[in-house]
Structure 1
Amino acid sequence: MNLELSPSLKYWLNFFHPIMMWALLAISIYAAYLGLKVQRTRNAQGEEKKELIKGRYNIRHYQIGSILLALMVAGAVGGMAVTYINNGKLFVGPHLLAGLGMTSLIAFSAALSPYMQKGANWARMTHILLNFTLLGLFAWQAITGVQIVQRILTNA
């Protein structure tokens, strides 16, 4: 059975991963904002704490984080799949390696959730460190990804 894709479809598949990743970068920044609000709520007292609790930042942060985990893993696998479909190989370089590292970081970060829910401060600090590292790598990936897209457009 031969499942050869049309050249047009193969070309346009190149843009699914970058568009998805730029959206995930924006969502990641929002998740960081929510996480900072969770931390602020945790440290607040009195009326300020009551007001912050109404924002349900902890629930929203957890939900957005879950969505990010699923979509980032799917986006990483999808990006590699499209590269392989179009080129018959993966290009091992900084963009791929950092992307695999980011996928690992978000998995480790999410795996800390049960410990954070039980109040483990070490897990909370590790989660924050991993996520800010992830956000920095994500910003760098966006730049290198634009360079790859420019190469695709130039070669079209």
Structure 2
Amino acid sequence: MSLHNLAVLQPYLSFFHPITMWILLVVALYAMYLGVQVRRTRLAEGESKKELVKGRFAIRHHQIGSILLALMVMGAIGGITVTYLNNGKIVISPHLFAGLGMVGLISTSAALVPFMQKHDWVRSIHVSLNLILLGLFAWQAVTGVQIVQEILSQMMKNGAG
């Protein structure tokens, strides 16, 4: 299959990455909620702890985090690929660097998980990296909307011309 054959899919491909990333932003916020519940469970005592344990927050946080890691890496690859297909080159921009930084942050955060049981300071680094990740993610969402607006504008010009 040549790049020329993908031309039919190109309008749809341009929107797959931003839609996926907006969904992942919501998933990331849910993962944060689960992480907060894990902390509450860890610090709780007595009946309160018994009740929180029933929520299985640690297992759910770990599962959602794993899915988030995989989809964020694949989403970044997809975004770069679609950019190349649309422009014939990789557009070097703050959006690209922040996205690559996010992949590095989430990978590092996930890599710390096995060490969190024995070292509280590792847990603090995990949480800090994820808060930075969420900040970058929110910024990416805003700049991504700007990029989508540019794509739509270009599509309108090409369609009208």
Give the TM-score category using the shorter length. Answer: over 0.9
1:73 and 2:62 equivalent?
Answer: no
Identity of aligned residues (%): 62
- Contact kept? 2:31, 2:61, Cα under 8 Å: yes
Greater RCO (CA < 8 Å, at least 6 residues apart): 1
Shift of 1:3: 4.3
Task: Provide the aligned C-alpha RMSD in A.
Answer: 1.1
Corresponding position: 1:101 with 2:113: no
Partner of 1:4: 4
Q: Distance in 1 between matches of 2:6 and 2:115?
A: 48
Query: How many Å apart are 1:4 and its aligned residue?
Result: 1.8
- Alignment correspondent of 1:134: 133
1:6 and 1:115 map into 2 onto residues whose CA distance is 44
**Equivalent residue, structure 2, for 1:23:** 23
* CA distance in structure 2 between the partners assigned to 1:13 and 1:25 by the alignment: 19
**TM-superposition CA deviations, 1:90-111 (whole Å, max 9, x none):** 1111100000000000000000
Task: Give, in whole Å, the separation in 2 of the partners of 1:40 and 1:133.
Answer: 21
Amino acid at match of 1:154: S
1:54 match = 54
Q: 4+ residue runs of structure 1 moved beyond 6 angstroms?
A: none
Contact 2:17–2:79 under 8 Å retained in 1: yes
Quote the offset at 1:119 in angstroms: 2.7
Match of 2:148 in 1: 149
Q: Amino acid of the residue matched to residue 26 of structure 1?
A: V
Structure 1 alignment gaps of length 5 or more? none
Tell me the TM-score normalised to structure 2 length. Answer: 0.93
Question: Secondary structure at 2:4's aligned position in 1?
Answer: coil
Q: Deviations over 1:58-88 (max 9, x none)?
A: 0000000000000000000010011111211
- Checking the alignment, whether the CA contact within 8 Å between 2:18 and 2:144 is kept in structure 1 is yes
Equivalent in the alignment of 1:36: 36
Aligned to 1:14: 14
